[in-house]
Amino acid sequence: MLTELPAHDTGLSATQAALVTQALNPDANWASVVNGAYAELGGPRFDSCYIEESLQQLAAGPTPVIRGTLPNPLRRAPVAGQAFPQAAYDAHRNSRLSLTDIGLRLAAGQADMADYVPIHRWWGNTELTNDTLWRWNAQKQCVLEPQ
């Protein structure tokens, strides 16, 4: 679970880093990136909804890290009598993904996500923001307090 804290060098959580790595593939699409990240992380550590939400967050905001995502039609409430939106779902799952310039820099370990993207999320009872960002150092296996 500590690996889901932002990394000390890139500011990416383990899930985000796996998604960025998978998006380096020139044939990357939504399904291959999510499934590849799931496999890279070792399977059922988190459910696919968490991984998909992490991907959506990387593709949104003022400085996207990943580009090419299409809206997920399953995020809308179903309408009685309306058929399953198969074509929209297939387009979403097969949308071609690629890294933005900042995404490429993050993948190369040459950038810190906190310098480009507003961070605001809860990790347990700890609020993480760009100003209060606890980080994980995988090499030393320790948590680093905000600087």
Residue-wise pLDDT tens digits, 94-124: 889 999 999 999 999 999 999 988 888 887 8
Q: What per-residue confidence (pLDDT) applies to 128?
A: 87
pLDDT at 146 over 80: yes
Question: Distance of CA 23 to CAs 28, 49, 77, 103, 129, Å?
Answer: 6, 18, 29, 9, 25
135 CB-contact burial (10 Å; exposed 0-12 / middle 13-18 / buried 19+): buried
> Across the chain, what does the average pLDDT equal?
85
Secondary structure, 3-state, the chain: CHHHCCECCCCCCHHHHHHHHHHCCCCCEHHHHHHHHHHHCCCCCCCHHHHHHHHHHHHCCCCCCEECCCCCHHHCCCCCCCCCCHHHHHHHHHCECEECHHHHHHHCCCCCHHHCCCCEEEECCEEEECCCCCEEECCCCEEECCC
pLDDT at 64 over 70: yes
Q: Which two tokens stand for residue 147?
A: 């600087």
- Poorest-confidence range of 10-19, 87-96, 101-110, 138-147? 87-96
Buried b (16+ CB within 10 A) or exposed e, 76-107: eeeeeeeeebeeeeeebeebebebbebbbbbb
pTM: 0.84
pLDDT tier, 73 (very low <50, low <70, confident <90, very high otherwise)? low
pLDDT tier, 14 (very low <50, low <70, confident <90, very high otherwise)? very high
Q: What per-residue confidence (pLDDT) applies to 18?
A: 95
pLDDT tens for each residue of 26-47: 999 988 998 899 888 886 667 7
